[in-house]
Amino acid sequence: MSDQKLVNLTIEGRPVSVPEGTTILEAAKTAGVLIPHYCYHPGLKIAGVCRMCLVEVEKMPKLAPSCATTVGEGQVVHVYSQKALDARKGVLELLLINHPLDCPICDQAGECELQDYTFQEGRADSRYREPKRFNPAEDFGGDVLYVTNRCILCTRCVRYMGDVAGDRALCVEERGDRAHIGIAPDHDLSHPWAANVVDLCPVGALVSKDFLNKARAWELDRTASVCPNCSQGCNITLETRDANVVRMKPRTNTAVNQFYLCDEGRLNYQWINRDDRLEVPVVAGKPATWEQALAAAGAALKGGAAHVVAHGSLSNEALWLLKQAAGTGTFRVASGAEAPLPGVPDLALRADRTPNATGAELLGFRRADQPLAGAGRVVVIAGDDLGGLDTAALSGATAVIALCTVLPKGLPSGAIVLPIANFAEEEGTFTNLRGRVQRFLQARPAPGHARASWSVLSDLAAAAGKKGGYGSAEAVFAAMAATETAFGGMSYDSIGLRGQASATAGVNA
């Protein structure tokens, strides 16, 4: 930073200093002024076509598109001068003349920049007396539906697909007011990262088929989280309605996923809401109280060394407490094809389809294809559903303790089963494949008597005669950071909502 030349200018009367080459639009953000815009997006090449971000710059003969105009020393910028306001009002009027104004049935309503800026700066009435243009909606494939009539031709989707996704599937077809977004012959939006165009679209022209007509934007609660579907650790917002996750959206983090989330990640959320969950502890096939179940499990653990089967979907906190209560062990990792997003360095749908394999490894757990192999008399299964495993290995066990969200098939009848929350129902951290530790927050309540995994394991450790009794995930993390070098020096405060590179696995984190 020190050798970067700073440019001083005034925006809406506020002095601003920004690095040379910054656009007026970005400079204005640092002054707390959001200049209305549509075609500009920080992740995309500049198009300068919507002409919404016009501002008045003293000594410039014409209004300047602030997205495409770099700052100059001593510039005086007026965002809300009458001239600039009139120009933007004109743009808004023109964007709306052929717009269907179908906000009541549009999924974008409530989070629509056309709505927002019209409310903020647009005309209250329309002078347009002609019939509106009509074009039919088109299924673009993948998860994307194109509602042509709502399109404002900002071309964010075209630029994203061509420049970031590296698949020139979209283009502007036709000219004049007949123009619309076209899809190239033999193409569709089945690219593994294509659904980002839905988020990029500032209006309701590109909508998610999965989310279509499901909920209104203002009914949703939003929680900062981390995508649990692979080891990339894309930052997400979990959007819930009546405590059900209805949508997963990327949450901007320039160090991990920039503005994006892959289709597989964003569309794989239904399992979070599944209603066949385990809601009470079970001991030997009968419902039990937590006290009974934990006492039985503690007694079993005191009986000898345990064979531990962990899972990469457990948080760092849960895995560390598991290690305290029963020792380390093995875990298996589901894998799939890797799918990179070409325009963003080191961003891909990763082969490891689990969020915390790195965390598990840093805490001493080892990968194994058959984690049940060699199981002894006391077995602890945390997080794994045993699907596809030969549970005959459990036949010799005298005690099996399972911490799970749904009852695994193949558990011996005498097993002690402890219901735990899934990642959306508790707080914790995951460590992504580059060793970046990232927090996720609780978005919905756990069903029935199920409890946060760290809480259950904290009690289990205590029941086994180890240190337990932690009051929060944060306290667990603090204790872990004090003993595990990989997490040394870190805390929930230092991690924040953007994550922090692990002390020992810090390459490219």
Partner 1 sequence: MGYPHKSHPRETPILSKHFGDPEARTLEGWKARGGYKALAQALATDPVAIQNLVKESGLRGRGGAGFPTGLKWSFMKLGDGKPHYLCCNADESEPGTFKDREIMRWTPHALIEGCAIASHAIGAETCYIYIRGEFTEPIAVMEAALAEARAAGVIGDNAMGSGKKINIWVHRGAGAYICGEETALMNSIEGRRGNPRIKPPFPAVAGLFGMPTTINNVETLAAVPHILNNGPEWYKAMCLSSPKSNGSKLFSVCGNVARPGNYEVVMGFSFKEFLYDVCGGPLPGRKFKAIIPGGSSVPVITIEEAEQVKMDYEGFMEFGTMLGSGGVIIFDDAQSMPKQLARLARFYAHESCAQCTQCREGTAWMTKILERIVAGQGTFEDLDTIFELTESMTGKTICVLSDSCGAPVTSGITRFRGEFESLITGKRSSTVAVG
On whether the CB atoms of residues 422 and 382 are closer than 8 A, the answer is: no
| Residue 54 makes contact with partner 1 by CB under 8 A | yes
**Which ranges of 122-234 would DSSP assign to H, the alpha helix?**
156-159, 196-200
- 36: contact with partner 1 by CB under 8 A: no
Give me the sign of the Cα torsion angle 123, 129, 132, 133.
negative
CB of 154 to partner 1, least distance (A): 9
Q: What residues does 70 pair with on adjacent strands? A: 23
* Minimum distance of partner 1 from residue 37's CB (angstroms): 12
Least Cα distance to 486 among 245, 320, 292 occurs for 320
Structure tokens at 184: 């190239």
DSSP assignment string, 429-445: EEE-TT-EEEEE---SP
> First and final CA of the chain: distance in angstroms?
21
Q: Which is nearer to partner 1, 132 or 366 (CB)?
A: 132
Which candidate, 168, 141, 136, 138, places its Cα nearest to that of 155?
Answer: 168
Binder among 42, 48, 342, 374 for partner 1 (CB under 8 A): 48
Residue 492 CA to its chain's centroid (Å):
18
> Of the ranges 27-35, 93-101, 335-343, 490-498, which one interacts with partner 1 (CB under 8 A)?
93-101
DSSP string for residues in 51-105: -TTEEEETT-SS-EETTT-B--TT-EEESSSHHHHHHHHHHHHHHHHT----GGG
How many CB atoms are located within 10 Å of the residue 468 CB?
Answer: 20
Report if residue 94 touches partner 1, rule: CB under 8 A.
Answer: yes
Picking from 442, 474, 471, 475, the residue whose alpha carbon sits closest to that of residue 459 is 471
Using CB under 8 A as the binding rule, whether residue 205 contacts partner 1 is answered as no
Q: Which is nearer to partner 1, 64 or 460 (CB)?
A: 64
**What is residue 309's three-state secondary structure?**
strand
State which of residues 10, 12, 29, 46 lies at the interface with partner 1 (CB under 8 A).
Answer: 46
C-beta of 51: minimal distance to partner 1 in Å?
Answer: 5
Q: Are strands 416-419 and 399-404 parallel, antiparallel or unpaired?
A: parallel
For strand 306-311 and strand 330-332, is the pairing parallel, antiparallel, or unpaired? parallel
Residue 169 binds partner 1 (CB under 8 A): no
Q: CB of residue 58 vs partner 1: minimum separation in angstroms?
A: 16
3-state secondary structure 366-380: EECCCCCCCCCCEEE
- The angle subtended at Cα 260 by Cα 259 and Cα 261, nearest 5°, is 145
Q: Which is nearer to partner 1, 98 or 330 (CB)?
A: 98
Based on the shown chain and the rule CB under 8 A, indicate whether residue 62 belongs to the binding site for partner 1.
yes
Candidate ranges 7-15, 124-132, 267-275, 348-356; the one touching partner 1 (CB under 8 A): 124-132
Nearer to partner 1, 160 or 423 (CB): 160
Report how many residues bind partner 1 under the rule CB under 8 A: 36
Q: Of residues 11, 52, 164, 283, which one binds partner 1 by CB under 8 A? A: 52
Q: Which of 95, 227, 309, 326 binds partner 1 (CB under 8 A)?
A: 95
Question: To the nearest whole angstrom, how small is the minimum distance from the Cβ of residue 497 to partner 1?
Answer: 35
- One residue of 5, 59, 175, 286 binding partner 1 per CB under 8 A: 175
Q: Does position 184 bind partner 1 by CB under 8 A? A: no
Asked whether position 238 contacts partner 1 by CB under 8 A, the answer is: no
Residue from 63, 282, 382, 404 binding partner 1 (CB under 8 A): 63
Does residue 119 bind partner 1 (CB under 8 A)? no
Q: Of 15, 176, 345, 387, which lies in the binding site for partner 1, with binding defined by CB under 8 A? A: 176
Tokens of 190: 């089945």
Indicate the burial class of 497 (C-beta count within 10 angstroms; 0-12, 13-18, 19 or more): middle
- Give the whole-angstrom CA distance, residue 161 versus residue 166: 6
Amino acid of residue 295: A
Query: Which residue in the set 9, 87, 300, 421 belongs to the binding site for partner 1 (CB under 8 A)?
Result: 87
Helices 473-483 and 316-326 pack at an angle, to 10 degrees, of 70
Q: Which residues contact 124 (CB under 8 A, 6 or more apart)?
A: none
171 binds partner 1 (CB under 8 A): yes
Residue with smaller CB distance to partner 1, 171 or 368: 171
Nearest to partner 1 of 97, 407 (CB atom): 97
CB of 509 to partner 1, least distance (A): 35
- A 10 A CB-CB count for 136 gives 8
Residue from 4, 104, 105, 130 binding partner 1 (CB under 8 A): 130
Nearer to partner 1, 70 or 252 (CB): 70
Q: Is 468 in the site for partner 1 (CB under 8 A)?
A: no
- Report the residue from 93, 116, 138, 385 that binds partner 1 according to the rule CB under 8 A: 93
Least separation in angstroms between residue 231's CB and partner 1 is: 39
Residue 90: CB minimum distance to partner 1, A? 3
Q: Which residues bind partner 1 (CB under 8 A)?
A: 46-52, 54, 62-63, 65, 68, 86-87, 90-91, 93-95, 97-98, 127-130, 152-153, 155, 171-172, 174-179
